[in-house]
Amino acid sequence: KQEVTQIPAALSVPEGENLVLNCSFTDSAIYNLQWFRQDPGKGLTSLLLIQSSQREQTSGRLNASLDKSSGRSTLYIAASQPGDSATYLCAVRPEGFQKLVFGTGTRLLVSP
Amino acid sequence: GAVVSQHPSRVICKSGTSVKIECRSLDFQATTMFWYRQFPKQSLMLMATSNEGSKATYEQGVEKDKFLINHASLTLSTLTVTSAHPEDSSFYICSARAGAVDTEAFFGQGTRLTVV
């Protein structure tokens, strides 16, 4: 059974810092991994999608890496801003399944 | 990215009544739609997967007679919570995918259901 874990559960940083969010999964047989952002009481916004054959994806100040063999992914946020404050979720799509399996999330607070 | 619209965003209903939540893909045809449930400060738990024109596949422990899912067209799926009880109060989120399993999933804004 695929399990996804995110560390840390919560993170508080001052504005301008670069930061790394971690995601680990127990079964390396995945189609892809996706990072999402969720604001309180809202749905999910897709940030980055990494296919199993890819090593990383970049979008603006965000960079996500994937090491499938070790079951790890990181989301790097450069020059953090207060508007980045949200919960960040990673999710994997296991091979043979249509569904996404979500991690527990990291609650990020960026202070001005 | 593609847009998934979910309606209503909030609903309050009395115990014993039924509530319908709609999920629409606005600018793409969703071959597969998913319904998730999220408890406060917890992650998303998949309830069911539906493919257009066929019956939904429910996850273990999810009552199919209580949570009715209809995916009648490539742009619309509905979740009906029947005979709602306070323990059904939760945040429900739908997701849609346009193509193969390696394509991106897009999510609706979520529906906050409160059963009183």
Instruction: List, for residues B13-67, the tens digit of each pLDDT value.
Output: 999 999 999 999 998 888 889 999 998 878 899 999 998 878 899 999 999 999 9
B112 touches chain A (CB under 8 A): yes
Which chain B residue shows the shortest CA-CA distance from A104? Answer: B43
pLDDT for position A12: 97
Residue B1 has pLDDT above 70, yes or no: no
pLDDT for position B100: 66
pLDDT for position B39: 87
Residue B102 has pLDDT above 70, yes or no: no
Average pLDDT, chain B: 91
Contacts of A66 (CB under 8 A, 6+ apart): A33, A50, A52, A54, A55, A56, A72, A73
**With the C-alpha atoms ordered A83, B110, B95, A11, is the resulting torsion angle positive or negative?**
positive
For residue A110, name the pLDDT band (cuts at 50, 70, 90).
very high
Q: Chain A neighbours among B 61-90 (CB < 8 Å)?
A: none
Residue B101 has pLDDT above 80, yes or no: no
| Residues of B with Cβ-Cβ distance to A51 under 8 angstroms | 102
Higher pLDDT pick, B51 / A33: A33
Which H or E element spans position B87? none
Lowest mean pLDDT among B21-25, B72-76, B111-115: B72-76
> Rounded mean pLDDT of A17-28?
96
**With the C-alpha atoms ordered B98, B102, B103, B104, is the resulting torsion angle positive or negative?**
positive
d(CA A66, CA A73): 4
State percent of chain A over pLDDT 70. Answer: 100
Residue A84 has pLDDT above 80, yes or no: yes
d(CA B104, CA B116): 36
For residue A111, name the pLDDT band (cuts at 50, 70, 90).
very high
Nearest CB to B105; choose among A34, A41, A51: A34
> Rounded mean pLDDT of A54-79?
97
Residues A1/A57, Cβ–Cβ less than 8 Å: no
Interface size A-B, in CB pairs within 8 Å, comes to: 58
Nearest CB to B109; choose among A31, A43, A46: A43
